[in-house]
Amino acid sequence: MRIFYISIVFALLTGVVRGADGPTDPAAAERGKIDSIEHQIIGFLIHKQMGSYGPAACYAQDALQRSKKIGYTHGIALALACEAAIKGHGNDQFVLAEKLARESLDWFGRTDDKYGITLAYYTLGFSLFAQSHFDEAVHYFQLARKEAR
């Protein structure tokens, strides 16, 4: 009888350990990869570790394509915010940065996860400021500051 109980406990523990290896849902695994890519891009942008913005732009494009493929709303929003930051800060394409930041904010409006929305607000404010739309830029800078607190 004791061997029977030990066998059941062993079988249960084996199942728990196998389940803890990682997500069994392929979409969850893909979301994890996308989040990792986006965190790397944000790290590059914050610490300005790139000599050129090219590699980050490729990563952002990859994250955007992967997010669209699985319908990951937060991934799309954050990838667009990263692309907007790269276009605005790295390439001085302020009109395109404004468009991408606005689209990013639209996607952030569809999800409860607001991680990264500060980047979208700040990039939108920066691109508007660069285009001499000062009043609107100040509004988005204030929103970025409010979200960052």
CA distance 84 to 101: 5
Identify the residue with better confidence: 132 or 18.
132
Q: What is the pLDDT of residue 62?
A: 95
Task: Say yes or no to pLDDT of 13 above 60.
Answer: no
Euclidean distance between CA atoms 98 and 82, whole angstroms:
12
User: Rounded to whole angstroms, how far apart are CA atoms 53 and 45?
Assistant: 9
Q: Work out the pLDDT band at 17, boundaries 50, 70, 90.
A: very low
Please tell me the predicted confidence (pLDDT) of residue 51: 60
Q: How far apart are CA 38 and CA 31, in angstroms?
A: 10
